[in-house]
Structure formats: C-alpha cells, structure tokens
Amino acid sequence: MKILIADSMHPSLFDMLETRGWEYAYHPEYRREDIKAALLEYEGLFIRSKTLLDQELLAAGKKLRFIARAGAGLDLIDLKVVKEMRIEVFHAGKGNRDAVAEQALGMLLSLFNNLLKADREVRQGIWDREGNRGIELMGKTVGLIGYGNNGSATAKRLSGFGCEVLAYDKYRDHYGDQYATESSMEEITQKADIFSLHVPLTDLSRYLIDDDFIAKCAKPFFLVNLSRGEIVKLDAVVKGLQSGKIRGACLDVLENEKIGKLTSAQQEAFDYLRASDHVVLTPHIGGWTHESYVRINEVLVQQIEEWL
C-alpha cells in the first residue's frame, strides 16, 4: 500500500507506517495542484487542513482507498463524493480531544480571573486588585453544543469545577452521562451561563451563533468557540458584548483566520475584539499540543489497521 503524506506530520508517524510495511512518500510542501498531479499513484492520503478535497481533486485519486485527516473536522472533505467513490475517511477526534478540553478550561479561567489583563498591568507597574476581581466557575451552568469527542472531554473537566453541564447534540440520542445532562437547545438557551461550541462546520451549523440566537438566550452569557470560526458571526458577538448580553468571549477560531486579508467588516469586528478586556483570543491552537501531535498519528494508524 502506497500512502501520500501531503502535510506536516510528527515524525513518529514514519516509524508507525514502516513497522506495518506501508510505503509512503512525505511531501508536506505539496499544494493543491501537486497533490492532484501525484494522487493517481497512491491508495492512501494523509492531510491536515490546508487543502480542499473536492470532486475535482478527488477525481484524480483513481486508486485512493482512504483519507486520513490529522484532526477532527471534516468540513474540507466532500463527504458525498468520497462516499460515491467508496473512499474510507478517518479522523483523529480522539487524538486531540483532551488538548481541546484543557484549552477550553484554560481560556475560561483566564477570562474569569482577568489573567491576561492583570499580567499586562503588573508588567507596567500597575497593582490593581479591585479592578481585576475575578468570577468563579463554581456553580455556573454550562451549555455544550455538540457532545462528541471534544464536548464530552470538556464536560469531564468541567465536572471538577462544580458546574451544572447541559449538553445538546443534534446527531445523537441517549448521550447523557455522569458529566453532562442530555438537554434540548431550548433548555440550554434558558439556563446557560456559558455556551461552549463543539460542532462540525456544516450548512446547518454555519453562523449558528448570530443576532437571533443571542436574542433568544434568557441570561447574559459567556461564549467559548474552539470548533470552527464560521459557526459564529463576529459582528453579532461584538454587538452582544456592547449590549452586555455577551459577558465575555473565548475565541480560538475566527470567521477568517487570514488576519492580513480581512474584509472591512471583519477588520472592524476584529479590532473591537482584540481591544476588549472581555475577550481571550488564540490562533486556532485548541488541540495543538506536543502530546496530541503524536497521539493523532497513533489514533489514525490504529483506525486504518483495524479497517484493513
């Protein structure tokens, strides 16, 4: 079996493939046209998130048997086309779920305790205790939208903080457990102090958090997004922060993550968010730890081996 690795991967992957006798070519420098030109030779493809695997590109993979996505999201893969072509798709949701959960808690705790603001001030010689009085996570009601790998791992961490965790997942039934209570979206919008998003990007989830959603929420709330940027309309978040309906936001992902190529409207929203002490921003690093970098390989290789 010949495998094309068309993205940067932790070198632990190479030993895993060689141990199993799987031939591979490592070309992290390949772009779309390079992948398209080479794909005919390969039965497997390892990819991260730089390339859209649409019908045009996949048509070149006449021998392609599987795609291994080194991450959780599958929004850059045309799943309808791969199903028609009988190509198996693997993803590494189990590989980075713990890293995502820890990132979510880290961002929330930073926001609640003014850690970024206080750190900046102390470095400038400002010693303002009252202005940095924090909020406790204990006793808050957290609404998790999406209860798969990342959502359930986040719920497990939240349980240690004495939170009531409500979970809604459109695609699952009977998923409540010791860490979260299965709930409707209506119940969550009535009760949640914190919303944390753990859903894939689809036509249904795109701009789920907009002006209408925010208006439906009974209480002012904190927003956490470590899923996909296009699930949240940033101008709606800005308006929510300005009105007080959104008390704070932790955003690891943005509508447009090419910071140097924002539209004028996106730039206006981004400028407001980056100037706000009620917002914590990180560059899509949820799940991006040294440990998950290796674990993703282990999860993918195990899945492929079991499938074979």
Per the annotation, the verdict on 257 as an active-site residue is: yes
Active-site annotation holder among 91, 97, 157, 228: 228
Distance CA 36, CA 61 (A): 8
Active-site annotation holder among 257, 274, 291, 305: 257
- Residue 117, φ and ψ in degrees, nearest 5: -65, -50
Distance CA 199, CA 215 (A): 21
* 117: region left, alpha or beta (phi > 0 left; psi from -120 to 50 alpha): alpha
Residue 116, CA distances (Å) to 58, 108, 112, 249, 279 in order: 45, 11, 10, 13, 10
Distance CA 47, CA 90 (A): 11
Active-site annotation holder among 27, 32, 48, 284: 284
β-sheet bridge partners, residue 2: 23
Question: For strand 23-26 and strand 194-197, is the pairing parallel, antiparallel, or unpaired?
Answer: unpaired
Per the annotation, the verdict on 284 as an active-site residue is: yes
Per the annotation, the verdict on 84 as an active-site residue is: no
Distance CA 117, CA 131 (A): 10
Distance CA 39, CA 45 (A): 8
61: Cβ–Cβ under 8 A, 6 or more apart, which residues? 39, 40, 42, 45, 85, 87
For residue 134, give the 3-state DSSP assignment: coil
The residues annotated with a catalytic role in the active site are 228, 257, 284
